[in-house]
């Protein structure tokens, strides 16, 4: 009941900024215009004709970028790690230690409220953009693929949360983590598949990039919807994603447990 109350209050707070949410959502779609023109130029410039690249034709790539936006809408946690590190640095984390409130659960409910409001406000713009770009999709996947896609998105949310929470907990040992978070942001943008599908990497790189958990932030859900991952590979992919969710959940819990033992309650 406590955390349901936290969720309800957080939703009310987020609704105060619904216009800002709507404008921010619309701005997120502007980069797709660049991608449309970029890949159109690439395929038109092929001397041998517009043949698929790593199994992706022009329409597949545009659909892929649209789907990665959906994936990132679930997995991205802007400011989470930095806010946890800041709370540790300035001492406001004491409120979680002095009251019968679990920090991770509290922050998780707050982020869930943020996402629920974001989805509610962004549903219209997302639907409009996808309707305009419907020609880039070959159709809806079958029921089981759709269920796998939804499951991958839900786990992407949990993975994104606990991974960033783990990074934020580093603040117990290092007061300044902004440089580390900047490096993580750059690495995540590349290795998650936001820049381009991981299948396009040469040689053994796709295998290496798919071993680490960042692919589940953007690439994997999009590849599932486009049915680039099927059968046993799909089952193993979902199992691996669930493993990484549990891994970072335990990592965040463990780092918080040992972090508060050395916490000196400095700051405000």
56-60, 93-97, 109-113, 248-252: range with highest mean pLDDT? 248-252
Query: Total domain count for the chain?
Result: 1
Boundaries of domain holding 15: 2-43+57-262
The two structure tokens encoding residue 65? 């970028």
50: in domain: no
On the 0-12 / 13-18 / 19+ scale of CB atoms within 10 A, 206 is middle
Residue 260 has what pLDDT? Answer: 85
| pLDDT over threshold 70, residue 90 | yes
196: in domain: yes
Residue 18 has what pLDDT? Answer: 62
Residue 97 has what pLDDT? Answer: 80
pLDDT band at 96 (very low <50, low <70, confident <90, very high): confident
Cβ contacts of 165-168, under 8 Å, gap ≥ 24:
165/80, 165/81, 165/84, 165/104, 165/107, 165/248, 165/252, 166/248, 166/251, 166/252, 166/255, 167/81, 168/80, 168/81, 168/82, 168/83, 168/84, 168/85, 168/88
Other beta carbons within 10 angstroms of residue 54's beta carbon come to 15
49: in domain: no
| pLDDT over threshold 70, residue 11 | no
137: in domain: yes
Other beta carbons within 10 angstroms of residue 136's beta carbon come to 18
Residue 116 has what pLDDT? Answer: 82
118: in domain: yes
Whole-number average pLDDT of the chain: 83
268: in domain: no
| pLDDT over threshold 70, residue 19 | no
Alpha carbons 18 and 22: distance in angstroms, whole number: 6
Any bridge partners for residue 53, and if so which? Answer: 56
69: in domain: yes
Q: Average pLDDT of 207-226?
A: 89
The whole-model pTM stands at: 0.86
176: in domain: yes
| pLDDT over threshold 90, residue 179 | no
Percent of the chain with pLDDT over 90: 25
pLDDT band at 171 (very low <50, low <70, confident <90, very high): confident
């Amino acid at each position: 009941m406590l955390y349901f109350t936290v969720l309800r209050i957080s939703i009310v707070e987020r609704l105060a900024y619904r216009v800002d949410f709507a404008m921010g959502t619309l701005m997120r779609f502007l980069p797709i215009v660049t991608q449309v023109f970029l890949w159109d130029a690439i395929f038109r410039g092929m001397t041998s004709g517009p043949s698929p690249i790593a199994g992706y034709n022009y329409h597949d790539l545009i659909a892929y970028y649209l789907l990665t936006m959906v994936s990132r809408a679930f997995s991205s946690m802007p400011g989470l790690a930095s806010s946890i590190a800041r709370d540790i640095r300035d001492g406001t984390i004491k409120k979680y230690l002095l009251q019968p409130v679990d920090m991770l659960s509290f922050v998780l409910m707050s982020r869930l409220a943020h996402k629920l409001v974001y989805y509610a406000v962004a549903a219209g713009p997302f639907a409009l953009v996808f309707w305009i770009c419907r020609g880039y999709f070959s159709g809806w996947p079958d029921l089981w693929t759709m269920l796998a896609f939804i499951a991958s998105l839900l786990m992407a949310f949990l993975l994104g949360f606990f991974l960033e929470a783990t990074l934020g907990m580093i603040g117990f040992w290092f007061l300044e983590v902004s440089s580390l978070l900047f490096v993580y942001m750059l690495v995540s943008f590349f290795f998650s598949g936001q820049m381009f599908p991981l299948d396009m990497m040469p040689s053994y790189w796709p295998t290496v990039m798919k071993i680490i958990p960042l692919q589940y932030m953007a690439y994997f859900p999009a590849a599932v919807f486009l049915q680039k991952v099927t059968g046993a590979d799909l089952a193993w992919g979902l199992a691996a994603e669930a493993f990484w969710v549990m891994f970072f959940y335990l990592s965040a819990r463990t780092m918080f447990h040992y972090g508060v033992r050395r916490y000196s309650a400095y700051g405000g």
